[in-house]
Structure 1
Amino acid sequence: MKTVRVACAHDCPDMCSLIAQVDGDRITKISGDPDQPFTAGFACAKVNRDAELVHSPERLKTPLRRTGPKGSRQFEAVSWEEALDEIEAKWKAIIAQSGPLALLGYAYSAHQGQMNRHIVNGLFYAMGTSRLQAGTVCDSCCETAWDLTLGPVGGADPESVVDSDLVIAWGCDLMAVNVHFWAKLEIARKRGVQVVVIDPRRSRTAVSADWHLPIRIGTDAALALGIVHILVRDGLCDRAYLAANTLGFDQWERETVPRFTPDYVSDVTGLPVADIEKLAAMYGAAKRSFIRIGEGMTRLARGGQALRAVATLPAVTGAYGRPGGGALLLTAGSMDFNFSAVRKPSGPAATRLVNQTLLGRELLEMNDPPLRALFIAANNPAVTCPEAGKVREGLARGDLFTVVHDPFMTDTAAYADIVLPATTYLETEDFYRGYGNYYMQYSPAAVAPQGEAWSNFRLAQELARRMGVVDPVFAKTQKEILPEFFRGSTGAVAAVEPSSLFDGVPVKAAPPAGQSFATPSGKLEIYSQALADQGVPPMPDWQPDEQEVADAGKWPLRLLTAPSYFQPHTAFSGVAFLRQREGEPFCVLHPQDAAQRGLANGAKVRLFNERAAIGLLLKVADDVQPGVILVPGQRPGTEAVDGTVNMLCSDRLTDIGEGASYQSTFLDVEAWETRA
C-alpha cells in the first residue's frame, strides 16, 4: 500500500489536492490533502468516489470501430494500430481533397490538466485546421465582461474571506460547485459574519445561509443597479475610491442609476422593496464585503451586463481596496502562465473559428469547405451544447468522420466512427492551476492506465508524428514542457521555480492584497469604450430583452439549469453509486404550477417547446418560484425518460463574449402520457 499526492482534474474551481491510496494497480481510496490549506483535508462527495471512476466496469477497454448506423452504439473492437492507421488515412485524404479547414479538433474541460487538456487543440492549431472557439458554453460571457470591467486579472483571494464582514453568494451554489470556499466561509460566520444568497432557486447553500433572496431569472443587473441607487441616495458611496480607481462613475450615476428606484427594481426582480432596501443598507455598511459571483447568471441573453453590474459593486463602496473585500469570479487571470507553448506551438495566426455554442449549426451549415472530420476529447457535446438535437443531427452525418477519445461510451461517442479509450486524470501526469483559488500543483499518475487506455497527451503526440507535425512539444515529456509554462511569466508566478513543483507539493501564487485593474485606463471601467465601439451599452444597465419577452408570451415557464450535487455533468456518469444518489434525471416545478397542470410528484413529464421535447421525472417543491422549471445537472439521454435538457435551449449568443444563453429558454410541461 502506498499514498500518492495528486490534483483533482474535474472542471471545478477548487482544484483540490488529493491523497490517493494505492494497492498494486488499484486505487483503494481518495481523500483530501490535509497539507493543502484550501482543500483542508476533505474532498467533495463526488471526488471521494473517484476510485470507482477509475475502476468502473463501464470503462472502455479497447479502441472501437463503428459497425452499425451512427448513434446505434454498434461497434467492434480493433487494435490501436488499426484505429490510428484509419484516422491517419482519413485525415490525410480529407486534407488532400478539401484542405485542413475541413478538420476540427474539439477538446475542452473534462480534464483540467494543462497538458492533457491543451495539447489536443495545440495539434490542430499547428495543422492549420478550423479552430474551436472554446468556452462559449461556459465562461466566455462572464470572463469577457469581467475583463472589460476590471481587465484580465483574477479576483479576490478566496482564502481572504476569513477577514470579510459580509459575504454574498450571487448566483453561486457553493455547496455544489465551491464547497471549500464554503468551509472557509464558516470560519467567518463564527465571528458573526452574515451570508446572503441571491439565487432564483432555494439551493442547499441558500438553505444554510442567513438570508436567501429568490431573485427572478435574468434580473441580477437590475438588483445591482438598485443597490447602487440606494448607496448614492443614502451617501454610502466611497467617493474617494471611485474618483481614484474607476472610469465613468459620474456618467453612470447621472444617466443610468436614477432609473433603478426600489419600486422599479422590485417590479423587475420580484423582491420586496423592504428586502432591496435592507440588502443595500447591509452592503453599504460593510467595509470588507466579499461577493462570490457564479457564472450561471451570465448564461442568458444579457448576461454580460449582469456580470458588469455586479462586479462594479465593490468599487462603489471601496471594498476592492481592502483585505477580505471585493469580488471573485475566477482567479486564472492573475496566474500568468505561458500556456501557448502547448496551445499554440505553431500554425497560422488566424483561421476559421467554430464557436462551441454553435457546433450543431456549424456541423450542418458550414461550407467552403464543410467540416468533414471531427476529433473530440474531454467533452460530451451531444449533451453539453445548446441545440443538442442539432448537434446529434450533425454528428449523424454519413460524410462526417468522427473520432471520440473518452473513458466511457458517451452520448457523443455513440455517433463516432472510431472510439478510443482514454485515461482518467488519476492515470495521467500533468500540471494544474486552480481557477477558483491561487494554487498550482504538479501531479503524477496514481496508477498506470487501465486496460488499453491512452492519455490525451500520448495520443496527441502520436497523431502529430503520423501527420508530420514536428513542433518540439510533441516530442517532449511533461517534465520537459513544464518550464515553458513559466517562460516570460510575471507576478507571483514568476517567483516559482518550475523544478520545485516536481515533488507534488501545492504552491500558492496569490497576487498582492487589494484588487488590481488591467483595463486600458488602468481603472475599473464602468464606462467601456470597447463596448461602445461594438454597439453594446457601454455602462452596466438592465433592459428587458425583446426576444425573451416574446418567448415568455408564447410559453408559460422559464427554464433554470444548475449543477446537481452528485451528477453535475456527465464526467461522473461512470460512477453507479453517484447515479443512484442523484436518482433518475428530474425537473422541479412549484406546487402551484404542478396543480394547474394536474401533475403529481414522481410523475413522468414531457418538457417541450418549439425546438424539442424531452422526458424527465417530476419533483414538486417550492425550491423554485412559480413560472420556473428547474433541471439540475446535465445527464445522458440514456438515463432519462427521453432526451437531455439542452435540446430545449437555443444557440442564441449572449450580449458580450458570444456565450451560450441556456437560461433564456421558455417552455411548458405536461404529463408524459399526453405527448404527441
Structure 2
Amino acid sequence: IGIGLQRHGGGGMAVRTITCIPGVTGDWKYAGGGVFYLTRGFYGVNWTALRREDLRPRQTRSLDMKRLGEVLLKADHPPVKALFVYAANPGASAPNQLKVLRGLAREDLFTVVAEHFLTDTARYADMVLPATMQIEHRDLLISYGHLYLAWNEPAVPPPGECLPATEMFRRLARAMGLDTPALYESDESMARQVLESGHPSLAGITLEELKARGWMRLNYPDPFVPFANAFPTPSGKLEFVSDRMAKSGLDPVAGYTPSHEVSQQGTALAREYPLALLTPADHFFLNSIFANVPRQRQRSGVVKLVIHPDDAVSRRIASGDEVRVANARGSFLAIAEVSDRIRPGVVASSKGRWPGFSKEGATINATVDARDSDMGCGAVYHDNRVRIEKAL
C-alpha cells in the first residue's frame, strides 16, 4: 500500500479495509496475492533491549511531535523549557507549521539541534551540533518494504567535530554524571543486543556475519507467503469483524470511516473551504530531505498547485497565475497549473519544501491541522480543506 494513504481521519480504516480484499478473493494464500503496509513487523529484533524503558525512574509524560507547536506554546505543569532535535526538521515537516515556528521562536526555550545543514529548525537553535552522515557512522538498518537487514560501516571518518547521535547522548550522560552502564554502550554492543532476540527470523544472523557480508535476508521462506497457515490474530483468521477493534472504541467491522475535513459536504467548513488539498511527494526530494540542495530545487521548479479547469474557471485562475492557498491555520503561495489530471473539488501541491526557501516563509504544512487519524495517532496531511484565490 505504501506510506501516505493512511494520512487522513479515516486512514486506518481505509488501510484495514483494503487489506481485507485478498481475504474476499482468496488471493492471500498465494505469493504476491496479498497486501502489505510495511515489513517492519517481520523483523524479530529485540526492541525492548534497544529502548530500555525499564530504566525510567518514574512515569514521564509523552508529548506528541505532530502537535509540537501546541506543545511549545501551551504545555504546562511544567512548560517545555528545553528541546533537543535530531534526525528531524519539524520547522519544515510538522503540521500547523506557523504555530511550530512561533513555538521555536520563544525566547525562554533552549533548543539544541544536531544537523548537517542549517535547516529551518536549526535557525532557531541556541546551539547547533554537527552530526555525522550515513557514510560516517555505524548503523544497523531495517526496511519499510523488504526482508533484509544491512550493516552500515563508515566509508570515511567524520569531518571536524561531527558525532553520531548515539555518541552525543553518551557524552551528555557523562556530563550529567549518570552512572547507568547501558547509557555508555557502544553502537556495536547495542546492535548485538538488538540481533540477539532469539526470534526465528534472525536465526543465523549475527553482527559479525552482517559485517562480513553487508546484508542478510531474514530467515523466512522464499517465496514468502506470511499468512498461508494462520494470521497473527486471536482467532488465527483474517478478522473482518474484530473484537480488538471494538475494545479500542473502533468499528469492529472493516468498512469506511469518514475523514475529519475532506469528507464534509454542505457544512460551514466545506462552504468556507470548498477544496480538498492533497500533498503528494515531490519527485526530487525525500520528504524534506534534499529540499535545500540547489540542483534538486531547480529540478523541482516553482511551487505548483494543480487545479481542475472547472475550479479554475470559477475563480478566474489560469495556468501560471500566482495563487494563495489558505485556511484558518495558515496559507502559502503557489503557481497554478490548470489540468484535468486532478478531479474537481480537489487540488494538489507536493510536500517537502523548506519555509526558509519559500515566499512568506510558509509551505503547504502551514495549512495542515495537528490532529490524529482514526488509528495509530498518525498525522493527517491529506485531510485538509482550503480556499484558493489569486495572490495580490
- Per the normalisation by structure 2, the TM-score is 0.91
Among 181, 186, 189, which residue is 1:480 paired with? 189
> Residues 64-463 of structure 1 correspond to what in structure 2 (within 5 A)?
293-344=1-52, 346-348=55-57, 350-463=59-172
Cα distance in 1, alignment partners of residues 234 and 96 from structure 2: 37
Cα distance in 1, alignment partners of residues 118 and 158 from structure 2: 17
Cα distance in 1, alignment partners of residues 293 and 326 from structure 2: 29
Counterpart residue type for residue 455 of structure 1: P
Counterpart residue type for residue 97 of structure 2: A
What SS does the corresponding residue of 2:270 show, helix, strand or coil?
Answer: helix
What SS does the corresponding residue of 2:113 show, helix, strand or coil?
Answer: strand
Cα distance in 1, alignment partners of residues 378 and 176 from structure 2: 33
Q: Indicate if the aligned counterparts of 1:566 and 1:579 stay in contact, CA closer than 8 A.
A: yes
Evaluate the alpha carbon distance shift between residue 569 and residue 598 of structure 1 in structure 2; reply closer, same or farther with a 3 A threshold.
same
Q: Indicate if the aligned counterparts of 1:585 and 1:639 stay in contact, CA closer than 8 A.
A: no
Q: Indicate if the aligned counterparts of 1:617 and 1:641 stay in contact, CA closer than 8 A.
A: no
What SS does the corresponding residue of 2:318 show, helix, strand or coil?
Answer: coil
Counterpart residue type for residue 514 of structure 1: V
Q: Indicate if the aligned counterparts of 2:203 and 2:219 stay in contact, CA closer than 8 A.
A: no
Q: Indicate if the aligned counterparts of 2:304 and 2:349 stay in contact, CA closer than 8 A.
A: yes
Among 514, 523, 526, which residue is 2:225 paired with? 514
Q: Indicate if the aligned counterparts of 1:567 and 1:573 stay in contact, CA closer than 8 A.
A: yes
Q: Indicate if the aligned counterparts of 1:403 and 1:418 stay in contact, CA closer than 8 A.
A: yes
Cα distance in 2, alignment partners of residues 504 and 602 from structure 1: 52
Offset at residue 638 of structure 1 (A): 2.1
Cα distance in 2, alignment partners of residues 536 and 468 from structure 1: 46
Evaluate the alpha carbon distance shift between residue 624 and residue 382 of structure 1 in structure 2; reply closer, same or farther with a 3 A threshold.
same
Structure 1, 456-465 or 490-499: larger mean CA deviation: 490-499
Cα distance in 1, alignment partners of residues 127 and 260 from structure 2: 44
Q: Indicate if the aligned counterparts of 1:604 and 1:615 stay in contact, CA closer than 8 A.
A: yes
Count of aligned pairs between the two proteins: 381
Offset at residue 545 of structure 1 (A): 4.8
Cα distance in 1, alignment partners of residues 369 and 250 from structure 2: 21
The aligned residue for residue 256 of structure 2 is: 542
What SS does the corresponding residue of 2:359 show, helix, strand or coil?
Answer: coil
Q: Indicate if the aligned counterparts of 1:608 and 1:668 stay in contact, CA closer than 8 A.
A: yes
For structure 1, the residue ranges without an aligned partner over 5 or more in a row are 1-292
Cα distance in 2, alignment partners of residues 427 and 672 from structure 1: 45
Evaluate the alpha carbon distance shift between residue 329 and residue 348 of structure 1 in structure 2; reply closer, same or farther with a 3 A threshold.
farther
Q: Indicate if the aligned counterparts of 2:9 and 2:257 stay in contact, CA closer than 8 A.
A: no
Counterpart residue type for residue 366 of structure 2: M
Offset at residue 488 of structure 1 (A): 2.3
Counterpart residue type for residue 90 of structure 2: P
The aligned residue for residue 554 of structure 1 is: 272
Counterpart residue type for residue 534 of structure 1: S
What SS does the corresponding residue of 2:56 show, helix, strand or coil?
Answer: coil
Evaluate the alpha carbon distance shift between residue 546 and residue 329 of structure 1 in structure 2; reply closer, same or farther with a 3 A threshold.
closer
Identify the structure with the greater helix proportion: 1
Counterpart residue type for residue 421 of structure 1: P
Among 319, 339, 346, which residue is 1:628 paired with? 346
The aligned residue for residue 663 of structure 1 is: 382
Cα distance in 1, alignment partners of residues 378 and 271 from structure 2: 24
The aligned residue for residue 243 of structure 2 is: 529
What SS does the corresponding residue of 2:118 show, helix, strand or coil?
Answer: coil
The aligned residue for residue 651 of structure 1 is: 370
Q: Indicate if the aligned counterparts of 1:326 and 1:515 stay in contact, CA closer than 8 A.
A: no
Among 323, 328, 331, which residue is 1:610 paired with? 328
Question: 1:186-215, CA deviations, whole angstroms, 9 ceiling, x for partnerless residues?
Answer: xxxxxxxxxxxxxxxxxxxxxxxxxxxxxx
What SS does the corresponding residue of 1:431 show, helix, strand or coil?
Answer: strand
Cα distance in 1, alignment partners of residues 293 and 77 from structure 2: 42
What SS does the corresponding residue of 1:660 show, helix, strand or coil?
Answer: coil
Cα distance in 2, alignment partners of residues 344 and 631 from structure 1: 41
RMSD, aligned CA: 1.9
What percentage of aligned pairs have identical amino acids?
A: 35
Counterpart residue type for residue 98 of structure 2: G
- Per the normalisation by structure 1, the TM-score is 0.54
Evaluate the alpha carbon distance shift between residue 508 and residue 584 of structure 1 in structure 2; reply closer, same or farther with a 3 A threshold.
same
Offset at residue 423 of structure 1 (A): 1.7
Offset at residue 312 of structure 1 (A): 0.7
Among 633, 640, 650, which residue is 2:358 paired with? 640
The aligned residue for residue 143 of structure 1 is: none
What SS does the corresponding residue of 1:606 show, helix, strand or coil?
Answer: strand
Offset at residue 349 of structure 1 (A): 7.2
What SS does the corresponding residue of 2:91 show, helix, strand or coil?
Answer: helix
For structure 2, the residue ranges without an aligned partner over 5 or more in a row are none
Cα distance in 2, alignment partners of residues 666 and 510 from structure 1: 46
Cα distance in 2, alignment partners of residues 446 and 348 from structure 1: 39
Q: Indicate if the aligned counterparts of 1:314 and 1:326 stay in contact, CA closer than 8 A.
A: yes
The aligned residue for residue 106 of structure 1 is: none
